[in-house]
Amino acid sequence: MKDLTFETLLAVFEEIFGRSLFWVMVAAAVIVTLGYLYVLVRDRAVSWKKFLWAQLSMPVGAVLAVWFVMFMTDSRLVDLGGPIDLVVFLGIAVMGAVGMAILVYTLESLFGSKRTKNASQK
Amino acid sequence: MDRRHFLKAAMLGGAAASLVTKEASAQSQPIQTSARIVIIGAGAAGTALANRLVRRLEGAKITIIDPRPDHLYQPGLSLVATGLKPAKYVVSDTSAWLPGGITHVTEKVASVDAETKTVSTETGETIAYDWLVVAPGLMLDHDAIDGFSLDMVGENGIGALYAGPDYAARTWAAASRFTEEGGTGLFTRPETEMKCAGAPLKHTFLIDDIARRAGNAGKMNMVYAAPQSSLFGVPIVAEKVRMLFEDRGVSTMMNRTLTAIDASAKRATFANGTGTETVDYDYIHIIPPQRAPEFVVQSGLAWADKWTDQNWVECDMQTLRHLRYPEIFALGDVAGVPKGKTAASVKWQVPVVEDHLVAAIQGLEGTETYDGYTSCPLITRIGRAMLVEFDYHDNLTPSFPGIIAPLEELWISWLMKEVALKATYNAMLRGKA
């Protein structure tokens, strides 16, 4: 690989997903993150009630992320062949878990559920 | 891909933007010129170069000559021939990749007159040039195999994935029957230089894996037949492939050149140096001899003393500049250099030719060199590959030393081939990688 610059990386990601889908995904990630930061600032504290659901959703996010990558790439778990494969595999799982937790926490803070609706006032 | 990943990329963006701007500003002033540049071939090399030149030059008259309406993503043919991707995965419009402001002549080149600096097309059009880039790709000489013609592909256990997307799909039709019914499979390669010398090996590994997954390993007699005495041009890779073949139970017939087939009897004839021998098969994969297009030798551009049966363009190994005509460059498959008939090589060759061409227009000497970089994500089964990269000197040149081991069967190398390679290729075509 030659000249692996940030511009090259962007061009490659644009090609993988298509230019519009890629930037929609980037925008979605930015919006969810901004939403997360917003509720943190608004509530001035992490609500552990909301965080419970977020934590419980983490394994689901991890499994979904791994399943998605395996499915999209005709791969199976037995294809993991070296240390770097394990790093990539765990990385995907961790990213799925963390992403899911942030998403669930943000959604619950913004839209709330009966159980946590007034959590921020407590 | 997870959104966190993109977030990370987006956050990196702020920091990296300054670097990108800095790099871009160095080349941001296009060179004013009225040079006439002709590029023969709108494949991977010609297209990538055209897209880069329009950014470097202003006022240049760039003409690209290629009659083919379809652009083929050739690294994908191995996946089509094993049913992992549909034929359309490798096909796109040639014109869709070309930049605006250049002339696309949809004709076949008949000859080049390097003395008067003109290119003639088969319809008699003559195009004058100041600088010429010869990048027409290569010819598959199917007629060199007696008894074989392309209409046979897909029937009677005959495959030929190099011939194009439809033939690759038909190859899978024949190969999939073989993976179910079993028998003897012959996997061949030609005596000449060839595109991606890893492809015959990949096809062998993949067909073996597919049969294995179907529970038919016991019915398969896999045979790899090659005119060379080793399994790969780079000794350390050849030795690794030998071990893998031993592990998978693939036997080898070295120093055998396929010369003929009898399709009805399912019998292949090989030349073995002293005579001929025949082998019965249930499936045969044919890769014919490969040569430069006719006009190269007829126009006097080929090597006189090397590859005399293949006629690759005579050029400097490092700069790809023609040794007798300094205003001519060779690029891609047609270049007469010892390695480098892959899309990955093109990715490294294009900036070198761009550098020397743009420098020459300004009356300067270019400084970039090409050291034979070739890359082959050598698939060893569905889900695993070895990211083999090497140069002219048979040295391994790993892009990620210490992280992605070149001679290890890894999932990440497969991911690169499956997900990232086409995207990188497309970015290269647009001149961005």
Q: Which helix (H) or strand (E) holds B17?
A: helix B3-26
Domain C-terminal end among B290, B319, B342: B290
Which among A5, A12, A95 is the nearest to B420, CB-wise? A12
Show the tokens assigned to B40. Answer: 């023969």
- Residue B19: how many CB atoms within 10 A of its CB? 12
Is the confidence at residue B13, as pLDDT, over 80? no
Q: In Å, how far are A110, A120, B35, B70, B295 from B106, measured between CA atoms?
A: 58, 68, 21, 11, 17
Whether residue B217 is found in the same domain as residue B306: no
Which among A6, A98, A102 is the nearest to B19, CB-wise? A6
Cβ neighbors of B119 (< 8 A, separation 6 or more) are: B38, B40, B65, B109, B111, B112, B113, B126, B127, B129, B132
Check B419 against A25: CB less than 8 A apart.
no
Give residue-wise pLDDT tens across range B411-432: 999 998 888 888 889 999 999 8
Check A79 against B17: CB less than 8 A apart.
no
Is the confidence at residue B149, as pLDDT, over 80? yes
DSSP 8-state class, residue B188: E
Q: Which helix (H) or strand (E) holds B133?
A: strand B131-134
Quick one: average pLDDT of B190-217? Answer: 96
Residue type, A30: V
Whether residue B267 is found in the same domain as residue B169: yes
Which among B19, B383, B404 is the nearest to A74, CB-wise? B383
Show the tokens assigned to B332. Answer: 């891609």
Whether residue B158 is found in the same domain as residue B206: yes
3-class secondary structure, B244: helix
Give CA torsion, residues A96, A98, A100, A106, to 10 deg.
Answer: -160
Residue of A nearest to B11 (CA): A30
Whole-number pLDDT of residue A2:
52
Whether residue B151 is found in the same domain as residue B212: yes
Cβ neighbors of B138 (< 8 A, separation 6 or more) are: B195, B290, B291, B292, B293, B333, B334, B341
- How many whole angstroms separate alpha carbon B374 and alpha carbon B339? 7
Domain C-terminal end among B313, B332, B361: B361
Whether residue B254 is found in the same domain as residue B338: no
HSE-CB at A8 with a 13 A cutoff on CA atoms is: 15
- Kindly report which listed range (A39-53, B100-114, B244-258, B354-368) carries the lowest average pLDDT score: A39-53
Tell me the residue length of chain B.
Answer: 433
Q: Which residues pair with B120 in a beta bridge?
A: B111, B126
Give residue-wise pLDDT tens across range A109-118: 888 766 665 5
Residue A48 C-alpha, separation from nearest chain B C-alpha, in angstroms: 22
Number of domains in chain A: 1
Whether residue B256 is found in the same domain as residue B125: no
In a domain, B89, yes or no: no
Whether residue B164 is found in the same domain as residue B247: yes
> Within an 8 Å CB–CB cutoff, is residue B3 touching chain A?
yes
Check B19 against A65: CB less than 8 A apart.
no
Query: Residue B363 burial by CB count (10 A; 0-12/13-18/19+): exposed, middle or buried?
Result: exposed
Whether residue B149 is found in the same domain as residue B274: yes
Is the confidence at residue B19, as pLDDT, over 80? no
Whole-number pLDDT of residue B185:
98
> Within an 8 Å CB–CB cutoff, is residue B399 touching chain A?
yes
3-class secondary structure, B348: helix
Q: In Å, how far are A75, A96, B117 from B352, measured between CA atoms?
A: 37, 41, 22
Q: In Å, how far are A40, B92, B94 from B68, measured between CA atoms?
A: 58, 11, 7
Whether residue B125 is found in the same domain as residue B46: yes
Question: At B146, which CATH number?
Answer: 3.50.50.60
Is the confidence at residue B2, as pLDDT, over 60? no
Check B423 against A15: CB less than 8 A apart.
yes
φ/ψ of B266, rounded to 5, equals 50, 55
Whether residue B285 is found in the same domain as residue B228: yes
Q: Are B169 and B314 in contact (CB under 8 A)?
A: no
pLDDT band of A119, cuts 50, 70, 90: very low
Name which of A7, A35, A63, A72 is nearest B431 in CA terms. A7
Chain A hits for B405, CB-CB cut-off 8 Å, are 82, 84
Q: What angle do CA B38, B41, B47 make, to 5 degrees?
A: 85
Q: Which helix (H) or strand (E) holds B222?
A: strand B220-226
- Residue B67: how many CB atoms within 10 A of its CB? 13
In a domain, B387, yes or no: no
Give residue-wise pLDDT tens across range B29-87: 899 999 999 999 999 999 999 999 999 999 999 999 999 999 999 999 999 999 999 99
Q: What is the DSSP string of B397-428?
A: --SSTTTS-TTS-BHHHHHIIIIIHHHHHHHH
In a domain, A76, yes or no: yes
- How many whole angstroms separate alpha carbon A73 and alpha carbon B382? 9
Residue type, A25: M
Whole-number pLDDT of residue A44:
86
- Residue ranges making up the domain that contains B155: 142-290
Chain A hits for B10, CB-CB cut-off 8 Å, are 26, 29-30
Which among B23, B347, B420 is the nearest to A2, CB-wise? B347
In a domain, A72, yes or no: yes
In a domain, B299, yes or no: yes
Name which of B227, B226, B220, B232 is nearest B283 in CA terms. B220
In a domain, B408, yes or no: no
Residue B38 C-alpha, separation from nearest chain A C-alpha, in angstroms: 26
Domain C-terminal end among B290, B324, B342: B290
Whether residue B160 is found in the same domain as residue B273: yes
Quick one: average pLDDT of B318-329? Answer: 98
Residue A73 C-alpha, separation from nearest chain B C-alpha, in angstroms: 6
> Within an 8 Å CB–CB cutoff, is residue B13 touching chain A?
yes
Whether residue B226 is found in the same domain as residue B352: no
In a domain, A1, yes or no: no
In a domain, B80, yes or no: no
Is the confidence at residue B239, as pLDDT, over 80? yes
Check B3 against A25: CB less than 8 A apart.
yes
ipTM topping 0.95: no
In a domain, A105, yes or no: yes
Show the tokens assigned to B104. Answer: 């696309």
3-class secondary structure, B99: coil
Which among B84, B375, B427 is the nearest to A74, CB-wise? B84
In a domain, B255, yes or no: yes
Query: Residue A43 burial by CB count (10 A; 0-12/13-18/19+): exposed, middle or buried?
Result: middle
- Residue ranges making up the domain that contains A97: 6-121
Residue of B nearest to A75 (CA): B383
Chain B hits for A10, CB-CB cut-off 8 Å, are 9, 13
B348-367 residues touching A, CB cutoff 8 A:
348, 351
In a domain, B3, yes or no: no
Number of domains in chain B: 2
- How many whole angstroms separate alpha carbon B312 and alpha carbon B195? 13
Percent of chain A beyond pLDDT 70? 89
3-class secondary structure, B176: helix
Q: What angle do CA B115, B117, B119 make, to 5 degrees?
A: 120
In a domain, B132, yes or no: yes
Number of H helices, E strands in chain B: 11, 24
Check B414 against A73: CB less than 8 A apart.
yes
Which among B2, B415, B427 is the nearest to A95, CB-wise? B2
Q: In Å, how far are A14, A99, B300 from A28, measured between CA atoms?
A: 15, 12, 58
Q: What is the mean pLDDT of chain B?
A: 93
Whole-model pTM over 0.90: no
In a domain, A60, yes or no: yes
Show the tokens assigned to B47. Answer: 């297209």
